[in-house]
């Protein structure tokens, strides 16, 4: 069994070599004749044998595409045999479909059909067998767990609940005492000369301290870690999701105790205390479809709305002094931030006097900061049109949880009953979502969160299309009401 960085190199190299071998075997006339004469679907194919530069070019093309598309499997994750086979078969099929599509649109890159059929018939058998042979088996050796966090209470809870041997724990700069007593024998905090807390072990922890988060990658490799269990009490967004990203990059399963599961997306298994964190709720192929839909929708929307953009800009300038667009920092996927742009619907510097707060119009009231044109823009949702650009560049999606400002995120997190607000950060924010089509705003954070998490669980292309259709219908209805002058 191969683990760590070697697994990445060995699995990738093996897939590449198997692909080269499959193409060379498929390129022989004898093999093609056998396939054409015995396989019903290939009976109309004509054997074609490549040579010279044509063969080299196809070898590089096929090997490059297959090796790249199977990259998500080059991680030493403990997978069951059937799971490994099904995931490999799916990606081999996609690679073959991709090569057939490339050949359809670009004749110079076309791989002969007989060669393509034989190549991927062989790869559909060889690659799954190869990945099964070198896979990280979940039951062969004792699973090695690493605790990541600094909360002594949570670390104690994890050590009593987990069955796997614990190699130690790593922690961020910690506010907890280190156990290094002062002259009176009292535990003191570990701080540097500037008063900042250093990366040091906390007191009362019966697990070996292996270092700070800066050493996390090397610890994963040195100790051949299978599982990381989170034991954070309070942590920064970037720090928390950075650790998650590192776990995913190194093929380490991320887990959390049930008591802390309200801050993440989990695969809830009844009766288990330690639950799996869903680092990637969806398969990468679903993400590709979703991204293609986002690009098509945003591009078409900007094209159709382009004549309207100039009219809105003129109306804003005539109605009140100030810029046409308004920009804000919003929370993005995995807790990062991005800049979102909207048509300005409020007086300039509206928050300089009132501070950062939700608009009263979101709760059905009247917000004195909103201009006359801004009220119309909000009613018709035309102020959101510039966000199509954020979708086009990949900061947002058409459908997803609406992004909030980081300051409001922190305020909502502190509210009682909304402790699992962070679950929304596991997906790309959207222009619309289940909460929006059900008229739920940030003034109702608990209800909004329920809709957002429900969407995360149900997300699919079909669900996205259904939400978009309902949102467009709502926009048309609001537009008609505005034109007719109904309040």
Residue ranges per domain, the chain? 4-134, 145-277, 284-484
Cα–Cα dist 329/327, whole Å? 7
Question: Structure tokens of 279?
Answer: 């680092």
Check whether 410 has a pLDDT greater than 80: no
Going by C-beta distance under 8 Å and a sequence separation of 6 or more, which residues neighbour residue 321? 348
123 or 136, which is more confident: 123
pLDDT tens for residues 315-361? 988 888 888 888 888 887 766 788 888 888 887 766 655 555 555 55
What is the distance between the alpha carbons of residues 232 and 150, in angstroms, rounded to a whole number? 6
- Residue 180 is predicted with a pLDDT of 44
As a whole number of angstroms, the distance between CA 487 and CA 482 comes to 8
Is the model more confident about 487 or about 327?
Answer: 327
Categorize the per-residue pLDDT at 51 as very low, low, confident or very high, splitting at 50, 70 and 90. Answer: confident
d(CA 430, CA 240): 22
Q: How many CB atoms lie within 10 A of CB 245?
A: 14
Q: Which CATH superfamily is domain 145-277 in?
A: NAD(P)-binding Rossmann-like Domain (3.40.50.720)
Convert 101-125 to b/e letters by CB count within 10 Å (16 or more is b): eebeeeeeebbbbbbbbbbbbbbbe
What is the per-residue pLDDT for 330? 87
Reported as a pLDDT band with limits 50, 70 and 90, residue 141 is low
Alpha carbons 259 and 252: distance in angstroms, whole number: 21
Is 70 exceeded by the pLDDT of residue 256? yes
pLDDT in tens, 170-200: 887 655 544 444 433 333 344 333 333 444 5
Least confident range from 146-160, 203-217, 278-292: namely: 278-292
Q: What is d(CA 364, CA 7) in angstroms, rounded to the nearest whole number?
A: 57
Find the mean pLDDT for residues 63-74: 84
All residues at 6 or more sequence positions from 423 whose CB lies less than 8 Å from its CB, including other chains: 262, 263, 264, 265, 449, 452, 453, 456
Report residue 398's pLDDT band, with 50, 70 and 90 as the boundaries. very high
Q: How far is CA 21 from CA 69, 71, 119, 121, in A?
A: 18, 19, 9, 13
- Greatest mean pLDDT among 239-243, 327-331, 478-482 lies in 327-331
Q: Where does residue 236 rank: exposed (0-12), middle (13-18), buried (19+ CB within 10 A)?
A: exposed
Is the pLDDT at 415 greater than 70, yes or no? no
* Mean pLDDT of the chain, nearest integer: 76
Q: Who has greater pLDDT, 414 or 309?
A: 309
Q: State how far Cα 237 lies from the chain centre.
A: 15
pLDDT of residue 419: 56
Count CB-CB contacts under 10 A for residue 484.
7
The pTM of this model reads 0.54
pLDDT at 155: 85
Q: In Å, how far from its chain's centre is CA 284?
A: 9
| SS3 per residue for 245-280 | HHHHHCCCEEEEEHHHHHHCCEECCCCCCEEEECCC
Three-state DSSP state, 212 = strand
**Which DSSP letter does residue 362 get?**
G
């Amino acid at each position: 069994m191969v683990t760590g960085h070697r697994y990445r190199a060995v699995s990738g190299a093996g897939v590449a070599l198997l692909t080269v071998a499959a193409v060379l075997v498929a390129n022989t006339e004898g093999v093609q004749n056998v396939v054409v004469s015995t396989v019903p679907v290939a009976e109309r194919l004509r054997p074609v044998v490549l040579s010279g530069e044509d063969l080299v070019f196809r070898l590089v093309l096929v090997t490059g595409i297959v090796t790249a598309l199977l990259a998500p499997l080059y991680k030493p994750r403990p997978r069951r045999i059937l799971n490994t086979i099904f995931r490999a078969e799916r990606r081999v099929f996609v690679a073959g479909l991709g090569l057939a599509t490339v050949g359809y649109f670009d004749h110079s890159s076309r791989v002969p059909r007989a060669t393509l059929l034989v190549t991927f018939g062989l790869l559909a058998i060889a690659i799954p067998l190869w990945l099964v042979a070198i896979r990280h088996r979940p039951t062969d050796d004792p699973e090695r767990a690493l605790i990541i966090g600094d909360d002594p209470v949570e670390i104690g809870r994890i050590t009593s609940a987990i069955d796997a041997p614990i190699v130690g724990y790593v922690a961020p700069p910690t506010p907890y005492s280190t156990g290094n007593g002062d002259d009176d024998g009292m535990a003191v905090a570990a701080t540097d000369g500037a008063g900042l807390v250093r990366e040091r072990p906390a007191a009362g922890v019966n697990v070996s301290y292996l270092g700070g988060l800066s050493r996390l990658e090397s610890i994963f490799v040195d100790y051949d870690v299978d599982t990381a269990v989170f034991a954070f009490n309070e942590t920064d967004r970037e720090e928390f999701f950075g650790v998650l990203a590192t776990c995913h990059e190194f093929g380490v399963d991320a887990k959390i105790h049930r008591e802390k599961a309200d801050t993440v997306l989990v695969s809830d298994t009844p009766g288990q205390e330690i639950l799996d964190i869903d680092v990637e709720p969806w398969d990468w192929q679903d993400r590709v479809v979703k991204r293609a839909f986002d690009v098509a929708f945003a591009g078409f929307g900007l094209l159709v709305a382009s004549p309207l953009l100039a009219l809105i800009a003129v109306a804003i300038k005539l109605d009140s002094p100030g810029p046409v667009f308004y920009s804000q920092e919003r929370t993005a996927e995995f807790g990062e931030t991005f800049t979102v742009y909207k048509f300005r619907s409020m007086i300039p510097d509206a928050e300089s006097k009132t501070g950062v707060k939700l608009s009263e119009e979101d709760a059905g009231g009247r917000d004195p900061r909103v201009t006359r044109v801004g009220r119309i823009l909000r009613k018709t949702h035309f102020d959101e049109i510039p966000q199509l650009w954020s979708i086009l560049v990949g900061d947002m999606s058409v459908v997803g949880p609406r992004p909030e400002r980081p300051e409001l995120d922190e305020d909502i997190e502190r509210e009682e009953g909304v402790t699992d607000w962070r679950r929304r950060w596991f997906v790309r924010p959207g222009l619309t979502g289940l909460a929006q089509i059900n008229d739920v705003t940030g003034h109702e954070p608990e209800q909004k969160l329920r809709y957002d998490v429900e969407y995360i669980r149900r997300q699919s292309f079909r669900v996205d299309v259904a939400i978009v259709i309902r949102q467009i219908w709502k926009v048309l209805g609001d537009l008609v009401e505005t034109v007719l002058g109904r309040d």
